[in-house]
Amino acid sequence: MADGTKYRVIQWATGNVGTRAMRAVVEHPDMELVGLWVSNPEKAGLDAARLVERDVGYKGSCPDTGVIATSSVAEIVAQPADCVLYMRQGTNIDELCQILASGKNVVTTRGDFHDPRSMDPEVRERIEEACAAGNSSVYSTGSSPGFITEAMLLPMVSMSRRLDCVTIDEYADMTSRNSPDLIFNVMGYGVSVGQFDQRKVDYVKHDFAASLAQVAQAIGIEIDEWRAFGELSAANNTVEIAAGTIEAGTVGAQRITIEGVKDGKARLRFRANWYCTADVEHSDWNLRESGWKVAVEGDTPMEVNITFPVDRETYPTVTPGFTAHRAVNSIPAVCAAAPGIRTTAEMEQVLARFS
């Protein structure tokens, strides 16, 4: 802060991303952890440092913070703070309104607030009323959606005066993910190729269409409709991955496409290319190492490729930071913003401070 005091931060939930965010707050030169809400009763009563130490990426012991985890919403809402890092599984509108009305700003990795216009009108009204009561703001961000669909995209298209289409390809190599239930039961790899589960398509569409709609509004592109569809591709050969075996002929890769269409043509597109083997039936998917490719078509065409230069064993411990750190770095901008639901397009730039 300008007066030299620190931002008082509450961490709300401690999954992989939440724990990494809490670690970043504890280590941040301009922030102080003042509260911690947990859903797991086994974590309640523990000093925040003990939960930070459980983070696989943390080396050594963390000194006690004096911040004791609690499962009491009332206790945390009563705790004075500047911002809450809201990272629970599922958004609870009732508790979120309590937080905002109490005067605390919220940065969340939940995707509910990327585009206020597309929100349920009743929910939006409740959130705006809570923000007005508490003189507070709420902001959704993360790595994807967030950084790649907004923070990265907006400056890229600032080079253009005619924009035909932007395509963001996200690549996620799942071979090192040692989570058999997630890989085989939740995501549906290693089974016979059939119809794509529309529920998964709709789930991805909710957050990414909202994020891209925010950009479309900011740059003046009117979208007629948002389309979403999923595709599956069979493995050409049997492969062993960390989670088990992908047999030849079963699902080895999947792709979900979200696109904003104007006059029958896609103008903004996001494609999630997730795979357990790159050797699949659809060779034209051109599956590559994890990261993003952003292609701009128009009068200033360009292509940006982003990869993560870490080894396969380290990768699972690094990836939570891509989502968590963007949220932590957003705290000063959100605290300085006007009350209400804030977006990347209209808020001041998010900067990282290292000293």
- Please write the tens of the pLDDT for every residue from 81-92: 999 999 999 999
Band the pLDDT of 250: cuts 50, 70, 90.
very high
Supply the pLDDT for residue 178.
Answer: 87
**What percent of the chain shows pLDDT beyond 70?**
97
**51 contacts 88 by C-beta, under 8 angstroms:** no
Query: DSSP class of residue 250?
Result: B
Rounded Cα–Cα distance for residues 308 and 322 (Å): 10
Rounded Cα–Cα distance for residues 10 and 81 (Å): 7
Band the pLDDT of 58: cuts 50, 70, 90.
low
The CATH architecture annotation of domain 7-141+330-342 reads 3-Layer(aba) Sandwich (3.40)
- Please write the tens of the pLDDT for every residue from 155-187: 999 999 999 999 999 999 999 888 999 999 999
Mean pLDDT of the chain: 94
Looking at the chain, the domain(s) classified CATH 3.40.50.720 span: 7-141+330-342
Query: DSSP class of residue 146?
Result: B
Lookup result for tokens 């939960």: 51
Lookup result for tokens 């006007």: 338
Whether the pLDDT of residue 286 is over 90: the answer is yes
Rounded Cα–Cα distance for residues 253 and 340 (Å): 40
